[in-house]
Every structure is written in structure tokens, then in C-alpha cells.
Structure 1
Amino acid sequence: MHTSVIHLHDPGQPEPARWDPETITPPAPERQAPVRQTPLPTIGPYPPLFAVLGAHGGAGTSTLARWWAHSADTGLAWPSSVRTTQRVIVAARDCIPGLTAAADRLREWHGGLAPGGIEVLGLVVTPARPGKVPSAVRRYRQIVADLVEGAIWSIQWHDELIVCELNELAQYTPNDPPPPRRRTTLSNAVPIDVHRAGAAITARVAATRAHLNDGEPGNPR
């Protein structure tokens, strides 16, 4: 399947800017995300560069975090520990309920309800089912995209995920070359859409580090 990068600001630019909290209507308390107090898991040789936050259950965070070797799955909770990264990619299904949940997470962040230090890099949407996305979903997606200044990536439906164990999936690491154009299995190479999104997110992380001048040794951010 093919990639669909819906709209993306220059990945060399810093992350989307926070809006004035007074202009945001935050989600009701019962719709707000929990907070993770413990550090994110570090299963590779280096601490993760960003966390994948699910806007709702079934948003695909474990698959995305597996594909992007330099990320960590923070589940449904904001990562609050300063010992590991607080840069976040929000993940949601490309459907009205999923996008509504994503809007809740983004309004929380804009409204100052997420833990201090959180930086949202953008939004990743994954398909709710194979086939064409309904026009009503596409229209609503564009509205939600405004909350991340258009920094939104779309991962397509991949049938092989139905029969593939998580630990069998190939991984993308920074500076990996694009996968081969010929058809291959998910255990041999990440899909091209996953590679492109991972590369764009990585570039955005690098730009953010340079912008904030926070790359000193020992700083996990």
C-alpha cells in the first residue's frame, strides 16, 4: 500500500506552537488522559527520542513504537518523567471517534492540562478499516490538523499486520535508507509510508533539539 502524507509543515521546523490556553475549551475531566509517572521503557541501546501516545484504545501505539526503533510506547498516558523524553506523537484511528479523541489530547496540551515539559510533534493517523476514507472523516481530519499546524501523517492499511507478531516486524532507525520498491514482507522491511513518517518525525525532533539547544550530554530530552 502507498503512503498518504496528508499535510506536513517543513519537518526541519520546530514542533507546532502551543495556542493561548485562554482560547482553548479543554475536554471534560473524564475525557482527559492519565499521566505516566515512571520513565519510558528503554529497550534499545539509546533512550527513546519521542513517545507515541494513543488518543484512545486501539490507536496502534505498540505497532508504531515497534516500527520506529527510536520511539517508546506510552500507551494512553502523557509521559511526565523528565528522565526520558517528553516529546510526543499523538496516534489515532482515522475515523470520527478516533479523531475526536485526538482533538481531546491536543486541546489538553494547548490548554495547559498536559504535564509540564510535554512537546507535541504532530499527529499520526492509522486506518480504521481497509478502503477509502469517507469524506466526512477527511473533512473532520482537516479540522483536527489545525491543532498541530498540519503536522499530520497517515499510515495505510497493511493486511500482513493481521498475521504478524509484533516482535517480527522490521524496524526503522534514523538514517536508514528507504525500503526497496519491490513488494516485501513486514518482517524484512518497514513499509514506505512508515519509513517516510519516521524520517519526517526524526527530522522534526532534530530541529526541535537544535531550536531549544537542549542536546547537552546527559539530557534525555
Structure 2
Amino acid sequence: MHANVIHLHRPVSTEPGRFEPDTVTAPTPDRQAPVRSTPLPTTGPYPPLFAVQGAHGGAGATTLAHWWAPAADTGLAWPASPQTTQRVVVAARDCLPGLTAAADRLREWHAGLAPSGVTVLGLVLTPVRPGRVPAAVRRYRRIVADLVDEAIWSIHWHEELLVCDLAQLAQFTPNDPPPSRRADLSSAVPIDVHQAGTAITARIAATRPKTDPDVSGDLQ
């Protein structure tokens, strides 16, 4: 069922980490994402550095965008407005349906069907339940990883989320020290959320044009 994810080679692209459009099998129109034409909301003191896009409903994009202070929640839609960031982190559940939806979003971007200006930074995966991920899911995850140049960040199962209101969650900002592993969710983000946020902002800093403002300086 997953035989047409991509051609198994990475050609030279004009954009780092991106395939040439004609080497990718694009998702059918009914499986493509909607487009958000309005600017992303600015809920903090600075405009968002990146958007979290759910590959499917229930992907955890809203929680992730709240956890990461530099992020904005773009729902299921591609952010098309150049007035706010068009850097995207795709979010999906770590299961076969979630990974299939994530592959659709990534192939859509590689095929040139996302709005002009969109750049995909990577994929963040959240669990559907506690415990070990099945082998079939792990195998397919390795295939999908090639679509994001191995930039995949996995978030663990956090039982406390079941009884914690979104507004109570602590937030990550760049240059925060690593949190205590015993901290509750209202006083610090989990360490895996901190590590993913650090990796994402480092990826932005490493790939941004030299005319961009300093990433860490934006959030001092």
C-alpha cells in the first residue's frame, strides 16, 4: 500500500533537502492539504518563527504549538501568507495512518504543490498510546524519514496531558536550560519537547538567509 511513496533516489535540488518535483509521486487532489491565506496569529511578544501543521486531525499540532513559544498553530493548512512565517514542522501520530498522512504532506511539498515560500523543516511524531511502537510502524517511519532528510523528532507519551488544560502547560523558548526530568507540565516542558524545540530552532538558524534577523535574538 506504500509502494509509491517516492522514487528511491535523491536528485540534486535547487533547495537543500528538497527533491526535484518530477521525481516525487504527488498525492491525489482529494488528499492534499487546504491553504491558509491569512497571516498566522502572534500570541507572544514576537512573531512566530515556524508553524506546526497537522498532517491529519488529532496530530497534536495545537499542543505542540503551545509548548513551543516560537511556534504558531496552522491547523491542517499550509501557511500561504508571506506576512508571517512559512517555515513548517509537520506533526503526525506515530502510527501507519499518521505516517501515511505525513508522507502525503511531505510529497505534496516536494512536488511543488504547497504554496510558494513554504519550507518544511521536519516532522514531529507523537504517540497514540504508551509503550513500544510496532515494528511495521518503525519500518515505514524509516521510509518517511527520507522525505525530511532524517529530520524527525519523536515526543513521548505524557500521561499528565490527559488531566492538564492546555493553558496550564509550560512553554519552551530558545536558550532555556534543560528542564528537570521530574518537573510537572505546568512548571517546565518535558525534556523531549525541549530537545525537539532546540533542534528545530537550531535548524532554522543554520538554514536561514543571512538577511534574516537572529533567531535567538528575536526571543531574548
Scaled by the length of structure 1, the TM-score of the pair is 0.88
Distance 1:38 1:62 in 2: 18
Partner of 1:161: 161
User: C-alpha root-mean-square deviation of aligned residues, in Å?
Assistant: 1.4
SS in structure 2 of the partner of residue 138 of structure 1: helix
Q: CA deviation at 1:180?
A: 1.5
| 1:202 matched to 2:201 | yes
SS in structure 1 of the partner of residue 91 of structure 2: strand
Q: Structure 1: which 4+ aligned runs deviate by more than 4 Å?
A: none
SS in structure 2 of the partner of residue 91 of structure 1: strand
Amino acid at match of 2:92: A
Q: CA deviation at 1:139?
A: 0.3
Distance 1:152 1:99 in 2: 11
Q: CA deviation at 1:18?
A: 1.2
| 1:33 matched to 2:33 | yes
SS in structure 2 of the partner of residue 162 of structure 1: helix
Distance 1:201 1:26 in 2: 26
Matches within 5 A, 1:83-162: 83-162=83-162
Q: 1:73 to 1:16 in 2, by over 3 A?
A: farther
Distance 2:163 2:89 in 1: 26
Matches within 5 A, 1:63-78: 63-78=63-78
Among 209, 213, 221, the residue aligned to 2:210: 213
Distance 2:211 2:167 in 1: 32
Question: Do the aligned partners of 1:93 and 1:127 also contact (CA within 8 Å) in 2?
Answer: yes
Partner of 1:4: none
Distance 2:213 2:126 in 1: 34
Distance 2:211 2:77 in 1: 24
SS in structure 1 of the partner of residue 203 of structure 2: helix
Scaled by the length of structure 2, the TM-score of the pair is 0.89
Distance 1:214 1:164 in 2: 40
Q: CA deviation at 1:216?
A: 5.3
Amino acid at match of 1:194: V
1:117-158 Cα deviation digits (max 9, x unpaired):
000000000001111100000000000000001000000000
Amino acid at match of 1:117: G
Q: CA deviation at 1:215?
A: 1.1
Alignment size in residue pairs:
201
Structure 2 unaligned residues grouped into runs of 5+: 1-14
SS in structure 2 of the partner of residue 179 of structure 1: coil
Distance 1:17 1:147 in 2: 8
Q: CA deviation at 1:16?
A: 5.3
SS in structure 1 of the partner of residue 76 of structure 2: coil
| 1:79 matched to 2:76 | no
SS in structure 2 of the partner of residue 30 of structure 1: helix
Question: Do the aligned partners of 1:170 and 1:187 also contact (CA within 8 Å) in 2?
Answer: yes
1:53-106 Cα deviation digits (max 9, x unpaired):
000000000100000000000000000000000000000000000000000000
Q: CA deviation at 1:17?
A: 1.6
Question: Do the aligned partners of 1:94 and 1:125 also contact (CA within 8 Å) in 2?
Answer: yes
Q: 1:16 to 1:92 in 2, by over 3 A?
A: farther
Matches within 5 A, 1:5-84: 17-84=17-84
Partner of 2:9: none
Q: CA deviation at 1:213?
A: 2.1
SS in structure 2 of the partner of residue 161 of structure 1: helix
Q: CA deviation at 1:203?
A: 0.4
Q: CA deviation at 1:207?
A: 1.1
SS in structure 1 of the partner of residue 129 of structure 2: coil
Q: CA deviation at 1:208?
A: 1.6
Amino acid at match of 1:187: S
